[in-house]
Amino acid sequence: MKIQIKNGRLIDPKQGIDAVQDIYLAAGRIVGLGQAPADFHANRVIDATGLVVCPGLVDLSARLREPGFEYMATLESEMRAAAAGGITSLACPPDTDPPLDEPGLVEMLKFRAKSMPGPRVYPIGALTWKLKGERITEMAELHEAGCLAFSQADTPIVDTQVLMRAMEYAATFDFPVWLRPRDAHLIKDGVAHDGAVAARLGLPPIPVVSETIALASIILLMKATGARVHVCRLSSAAAIDMVRAAKAEGLPLTCDVNVHHLHLTELDVADFNPNCHLYPPFRSQRDRDAIRTALADGTIDAICSDHAPVDDDAKELPFQEAEPGATGVELLLPLTLRWARESGRSLSQAIDLITRKPAGILGIEAGQLGIGAPADLCLFDPEAWWQVTRKSLHSLGKNSPFLGLEMQGQARYTIIDGHIDFERNHTA
């Protein structure tokens, strides 16, 4: 398949490109920018007038709910949803059932994902057996099976010695360790930010210090072990200050934030909306503003969807009993664009945070439009308005804090490996 995309606004932060020009795809690769290669005859020409043509989005956390949670969603449905959101590569956390702690499970997930259309799937292996935090996994074997990094997902390791041994082992092979900074004793059964709203509603609180104490341990263990660490889903100004200081020291530390935390605060749980029950919780206005600033100054390296489709039965419960999480793959692009508009940041800077930078954290050949790069692209209309409804979401998870609200910016085409994986009717 040879594709010519003409008249689009090409944005590639890696190469500093922001201009209207044509791009040419063949044999799964980008083969020309501006001028067509010799003897190039397109099988398909896409007129991208009015559209932005950028690298396909790279999502650092998307739960596909297989294996083990097919009653919530399926691999097929969530990969289709991700493609509808412009995502061409995604990392899958290890908190499946069973967890991704054995090579056979990783190989099966990769085989299943490869057998159907949709984004490239990169499994993240479990750091400890069954995610119990007691015995470290055979990371070398999991790496051979296809794991690019190792994580505990949402489950903290309570025994600090186990965490240190896991980081030592990972450092030996230079495997990156992805950790959510959460102190299990301080979280307990908390469900909301420890602030005025939780106090007024009588919700069990999660204090900021549950994040900062865990992060302090991680940073100190990095220094002791030499491990490379990616900190997942920062939520507080205090934690961001700690990451900023650690980076200034030269530690090999990166971090990301859930796209929902760019826009929502503790005030959004005031009506007990279970769709606003997320981990980490939405925090104060000051924390949200600090996240926005940290994205702009580069302290936070990437934005992810932290996609977690949940079935209605698990969400239609009182706030503190509802399953945490929100569907996100179809909102990653418009919510990132909204942050850029509200913060006065360029389109290129916004795209960088969901393409090149997460690709660099994963260590994959994606997130760019250079000649010879994989033909993974997203063509989106930055002006298109659409409403988030149960019907408009492709994901089987209809749980979103933004249900009923309008978004600006929508993927029109998602091209993966040189093939049109998703195409949206312009009137949709």
Q: What are phi and psi of 89, to 5 degrees?
A: -140, 140
CA distance 241 to 251: 14
Catalytic residue chosen out of the listed positions 22, 287, 306, 376: 306
Amino acid code (one letter) for 314? A
Clarify whether 306 is annotated catalytic. Answer: yes
CA distance 380 to 382: 6
The set of residues, in sequence order, having a beta carbon less than 8 Å from that of 55 and lying 6+ positions away, is: 12, 14, 88, 351, 355, 356, 359, 366, 367, 368, 369, 376, 377, 378
Using an 8 Å Cβ cutoff, are 304 and 257 in contact? yes
CA distance 366 to 59: 11
DSSP class of residue 62?
Answer: B
Please report which helix (H) or strand (E) contains residue 362, including its range: helix 356-362
Residue found by looking up tokens 């002006």 in the block? 383
CA distance 365 to 356: 9
Q: How far is CA 398 from CA 74, 315, 404, in A?
A: 13, 10, 11
Question: Nearest CA to 42 among 83, 88, 6?
Answer: 6
Question: Nearest CA to 352 among 17, 7, 8?
Answer: 17
Q: How far is CA 30 from CA 46, 289, 355, in A?
A: 15, 38, 16
Taking the CA of residue 413 as centre, how many other CA atoms within 13 Å lie in the half-sphere pointing to its CB?
24
Taking the CA of residue 127 as centre, how many other CA atoms within 13 Å lie in the half-sphere pointing to its CB?
29
The set of residues, in sequence order, having a beta carbon less than 8 Å from that of 129 and lying 6+ positions away, is: 101, 135, 136, 137
- Residues assigned a catalytic role: 306
